[in-house]
Amino acid sequence: MTYSFSMANRISLYHVWLLSLLVLANAETYIIHMDLNAMPPSHTTHHSWFAATLDSLTTTKTTTLDTSSYSSKLVYSYTHAINGFTANLSPSELELDTTHSTQFLGLSSNYGAWPVSSYGKDVIIGLVDTGIWPESGSFNDDGMSEVPVRWKGECEEGFHFNSSLCNKKLIGARYFNKGLLSNHPNLTISMNSARDTDGHGTHTSSTAAGRYVKSASYFGYGSGKANGVAPNARVAMYKAVWDEGVFVSDILAAIDQAIIDGVDVLSLSLGGDGIPLYQDPIAIATFAALEKGIFVSASSGNNGPYYRSLHNGTPWVLTVAASTVDREFTGIVTLGNGVSATGSALYPGNLTSSQVPIVFVGACENDLDAKKVDRKIVVCLDSNDTLGEQFYNVGNSNVSGAIFITNNSDIEFFMQSEYPVLLLDQQKGKLVMDYIQEVGKGEPKASIKFHGTQLKTKPAPRVASYSSRGPSYSVPVVLKPDLTAPGSLIIASWPDWVSPTSIKTDMSGGHETLFSKFNILSGTSMSCPHASGVAALLKAAHPTWTPSAIRSAMMTTSDNLDNTFKPIQDLGDNNNPATPLAMGSGHVSPNKALNPGLIYDVKPQEYINLLCGLNYTKTQIQTITRSSTVNCSNPSLDLNYPSFIAFFKENNTNTVKVTHEFKRTVTYVGAGSSTFTAKLTSIGGLNVSVSPDKLSFRSKNEKKSYKLRIEGPNKMVQDEVIYGFLSWIDNKGEDGMTNEGKIVKSPAFRRSFFNSFKSIVYWATSSFYDSIQIIIQSTLLDSEWVREVFGLSSNVHLEALAESPNIPERIQDKDNLKVLTELPRSQSRKVLALLVFGEFMVGNYYLLEIYWKHQMRKRVKNLVGMSDFFGLRLSGTILVYTNQFRWWESGMTKDPGGAGVGSGGLDILASKIVEAYYLGFAGRLYFIA
């Protein structure tokens, strides 16, 4: 008898405990060896484990223990000769996992969070988003049990949406647009129902809890089987974000209804920050969810890599950053000399396999010479961070394809292109450049092949450059973000009617619109539902755990090392080790979170104590708690949180060293008795101690307290971030938990600069027109260039800004407001702040993350509708800053490019929006470089 091992590598992708795989001469019969030491505790016999394993291989349904689902496949179950079984399997049943992010998280049908939680069975995940596409295979209910009787939601009928479209998987779908319609009574909503016409909501909901779908891919990229993090969880969609606009009043109504309906997990891939909690409607609504025992996760925002760019810094929600996975989508350029190089690509079409001329055009920053580039592959060198401009210029030319040589850290937003694009790093790009130079006056040629997928790439994860950084403006004393999760290049379901992309067909503007049941997106919108799915798994495994207990388990067991066993890197910081302001406690690890050893629990009153410590008034606290009574007898900024953050002044002249002390109480959630010993990593320049350094527990749910003491030096470098870790190690020599001990030194600016201004962190809308409370919410790229100003009143003169270098001489004419259309190229990368002098500035906020369209030449939809986020009625001029480094002007009383009220949006030329400002009559305008 002969054996073949040709399938061994494929099957090992599913079973890390598989010892070997023998394929008999009959290609459908497999002998599978199992390691009994790896059997999950949820299985009482090895036969039940074998059954669950076989069922996971042989069906698109989630694993059950019903032997009727696998008996037709099972040939033998062995007990003594070997540990394992023999089964008949088809090649399609060994298909790779196209979602892959769940595999990267370590989720497996053999052990850990999936089998222990029954794949998140009966946990209800509610999402406030753009709606859902109910016909998607990700929401099929094959094999699912009846809807939990505690569920109070419904499937609301609407345009192209009948109640019959809900099932045992999609158990609720509602829509909310009264706020939108009350502000625009003459508006006609194109899809007045819970149906998704954007794609975002379908993508996030299938990421969190999508069922298994075979033969999934994005135009051939990542082909395989798709699934969400918690495939057996239920989904409830609350549509509050519309193509016509988004109003916070609708978002609040959606959250309120989700609480009434009885969701267990609430996933919010939207939000904002920069205002105090008592003025933040989402913070207020999620406090109510917390009191009802609902776990809330929210995206950190896509305004990175700058400090203080974070969204959703609310202490009672899990704030999720974004990171990469160990998968890359690729294309291969083959040069005329036979040398090839692999780069990043997501072009959906096909380029001819025959070789065509290739030409180097330099920086490609200006319009290209048509005679030089016509029907050729153009090579552009991004040497000064002008990739966005290059991308646009080449797209306007009649080229066969383009190769961009760049080390840009946000390349995922340039990969989904309408024309053939390959992105190479500098090292691989040198191969192309050398070849073109060697050929000289000859005719160099090349071809590009697309649709490649590479797995197990290293290093991974890495924190995405776009992921917003902490600390939070609203509550800086609580370290945010909390953790990071997969967010870059995530494949998930997509509406059939919504085109994810198109390809150019000719230079006259012709395009072919493409459709797909799956799409690839990047952003913290994608990382948030990953965390929501993990929370659902933990809720199913530990039904009595509170939201703070689940958050604690996820944070304290997160990974700080990548798949090369080195510290996780930060793509936005030249691949240096990521700090907790970028990744929080680390990368979420669902299997380890099942048994964290110790947890930090937080009662609602402890959050109230924090609000009291922030000097909120009784009325402000009541706004958040909705309670007539407020107990501020024990105010404290020291929340029982699974992380630490301390601020120290720069160049402190005080001879007495500043000390911060934190008190924490932990609850033992293990079995039997155990003793944990504290272990501190070195935190340079600081003296750190823990007392006591041992915690002994006799039984489950016992509580113990300890204190962490941090003593700072007299002098500290401006903007310096020092961090370390506190680990509690149990007496078995295993990490029971890891606490992030991050020390951030502040202020970020020189004191002499602050002396010119009254320091007010948040604006007060009641006195908004008397004094402009916040003018800038810029973030730090380089302390030599950036200045941040708070509380700038209308009578401050230019002389007060004398320390700010390189103020452009061109300024706005107060009587004829015109926008500076293009900044000097040498300064464009440094422009982060906008100062406005005058009494009538009406708003400034970061765009809701949901409106970042993740790719080039999309529309900024209805910025006007965003005004409800601050309860302000806006008028005047819209200024949009993109990474194309240009400003666009559009009057709001007219619609020259579609930027007016109720319109489709303003065309932009860039891959992401950094900030949007609404200005009334503002007087003089200064750009600070």
Q: Distance of CA 838 to CAs 887, 923, 924, Å?
A: 20, 5, 8
929, 827 Cβ separation under 8 angstroms: yes
Q: Which two tokens stand for residue 105?
A: 């998280």
Residue 174 and residue 131: Cα distance in Å, rounded? 8
Residue 339 and residue 659: Cα distance in Å, rounded? 60
Residue 873 and residue 828: Cα distance in Å, rounded? 31
728, 668 Cβ separation under 8 angstroms: no
Dihedral (C-alpha) 50, 53, 54, 57: value to the nearest 10 degrees?
-170
Among this protein's residues, is 797 annotated catalytic? no
* DSSP 3-state of 661: strand
Among this protein's residues, is 447 annotated catalytic? no
Among this protein's residues, is 451 annotated catalytic? no
724, 741 Cβ separation under 8 angstroms: yes
444, 247 Cβ separation under 8 angstroms: no
Q: Distance of CA 718 to CAs 3, 281, 549, 746, 907, Å?
A: 66, 34, 36, 7, 39
List, in sequence order, every beta strand (DSSP E) within 800-861. Answer: 833-836, 843-845, 859-860
Q: Rg for the chain (alpha carbons), in Å?
A: 28
Burial annotation 838-862 (CB, 10 A radius, 16+ → b, else e): ebbbbbbbbbbbbbbbbbbbbbbbb
**Residue recorded with tokens 């890197």:** 569
Bond from prior residue into 590 cis (ω within 30 degrees of 0): no
Q: Which of 344, 468, 488, 525 is catalytic?
A: 525
List, in sequence order, every beta strand (DSSP E) within 745-802. Answer: none
Q: Which of 100, 184, 200, 854 is catalytic?
A: 200
> What phi and psi, each to the nearest 5 degrees, are found at residue 19?
-80, -45
Residue 7 and residue 215: Cα distance in Å, rounded? 19
Q: Which of 129, 198, 273, 482 is catalytic?
A: 129
**What residues contact 129, with CB distance under 8 A and at least 6 apart?**
196, 200, 201, 204, 205, 237, 238, 239, 240, 241, 269, 270, 850
Element (H, E) at 524: helix 524-541
Q: Running DSSP on this structure, what letter comes out for residue 847?
A: P
Burial annotation 447-467 (CB, 10 A radius, 16+ → b, else e): bbbbbbbeeeeebbbbbbbbb
Long-range contacts of 813-817 (CB under 8 A, 24+ apart): 814/838, 814/921, 814/922, 814/923, 814/924, 817/876, 817/877, 817/921, 817/922, 817/925
783 φ/ψ sector (left φ>0, alpha ψ -120 to 50, else beta): alpha
Residue 740 and residue 869: Cα distance in Å, rounded? 32
* DSSP 3-state of 811: coil
Residue 339 and residue 136: Cα distance in Å, rounded? 42
Residue 173 and residue 195: Cα distance in Å, rounded? 9
* DSSP 3-state of 860: strand
Q: Distance of CA 270 to CAs 13, 300, 309, 647, Å?
A: 34, 9, 14, 28
Residue 108 and residue 119: Cα distance in Å, rounded? 10
Residue 683 and residue 387: Cα distance in Å, rounded? 38
871, 831 Cβ separation under 8 angstroms: no
Q: Which two tokens stand for residue 567?
A: 């510290």
Let me know how long the chain is: 929
**What residues contact 569, with CB distance under 8 A and at least 6 apart?**
459, 462, 463, 562, 575, 576, 577, 578
Bridge partners of residue 340, in order along the sequence: 334
Element (H, E) at 253: helix 248-261
Query: Annotated catalytic sites, by residue?
Result: 129, 200, 525
